[in-house]
Amino acid sequence: MECRLDGQVAVVTGGSSGIGRGIAQLFAQAGAAVVVNYRGSRDGAEEAVREIEAAGGKAIAVKADVSQQAEVEAMFAAAVEHFGAVDILVANSGIQKDAAFTELTLEDWQQVIDTNLTGQFLCAQAAVRQFRRQGERGVSRARGKILCMSSVHEVIPWAGHTNYAASKGGISLLMKSLAQEVAEEGIRVNAIAPGAIRTAINADATEGDAARDLLRLIPYGRIGVVEDVARVALFLASDMGDYVVGATLFVDGGMTLYPGFRDNG
């Protein structure tokens, strides 16, 4: 048995680059029609759509800032208008605005919370409302699936990144509380917590000398790639993961295993 998403519609926020783009591509290969959401990177989103279509899949690019309720609602309306339904939300959009604590501006605190936490709240709310509206579609055992993109920093404190860590810590209990609230309706909510995955968000930390330092934090001995996360997302979104409810799956090469204790602490 394979992980398939035939006949399903997936909205992937932040689908124009990085992990989101990898998920959009893999979901399309697995048979889903994909809404590739973007905020700034129209070229990236359109390129992702072209690649999906060239491989025989279905996709559209939809612009929306996930922190703006009206834009999120318009994105879901566009998805339904184009593909008739929404079966899967991957709430993936995320940003970093790093600064030492006393240098962190209120604006940079707010922007990260707005995109990473409030954005997932708004998208998940729109998704649950849409799942209820459309009822059983017979394309999956669950009535709807939501994947929240968390991070190892939902549990690993991260000096110099208090806004980002706070947003991901928030995702942990947003996800679990929502999962508990809607599971009886057949809606599955889960999260993925990636470790260091080679994308634009952490290019500085994953190249050159910095990569050697980073590897000390990864027992499995390699920096992750987008496909490592996309495959887990596909498993969770498909019926192969049907009994997984309210779980955070860490995809981190062991980064959360306290690697500093490997040599007897």
Site residues (CB under 6 A) for ligand BGC? 96, 151-153, 195-196, 201-202, 205
Q: Pick between residue 3 and residue 196 the one whose CB is nearest to ligand BGC.
A: 196
258 is catalytic: no
Are 147 and 244 a contacting pair, CB within 8 Å?
Answer: no
Q: Pick between residue 83 and residue 164 the one whose CB is nearest to ligand BGC.
A: 164
Closest distance to ligand BGC from the beta carbon of 35 (Å): 23
Distance (Å, rounded) from C-alpha 33 to C-alpha 27?
A: 8
Are 35 and 89 a contacting pair, CB within 8 Å?
Answer: no
Closest distance to ligand BGC from the beta carbon of 255 (Å): 7
Closest distance to ligand BGC from the beta carbon of 201 (Å): 5
**Strand ranges inside 153-224, DSSP E:** 187-194
Q: Pick between residue 143 and residue 153 the one whose CB is nearest to ligand BGC.
A: 153
Distance (Å, rounded) from C-alpha 184 to C-alpha 178?
A: 11
State both tokens at 136.
Answer: 């059983």
Among candidate residues 164, 220, 243, 258, the one labeled active-site is 164
Between CA 69 and CA 178, with CA 108 as vertex, the angle to 5 degrees is 45
Distance (Å, rounded) from C-alpha 139 to C-alpha 31?
A: 11
Closest residue to ligand BGC, judged by C-beta, is: 151
Name beta bridge partners: 9: 33
Closest CA to 76 of 18, 110, 37: 37
Closest distance to ligand BGC from the beta carbon of 164 (Å): 7
Q: Pick between residue 33 and residue 197 the one whose CB is nearest to ligand BGC.
A: 197
Active site (catalytic) residues: 164
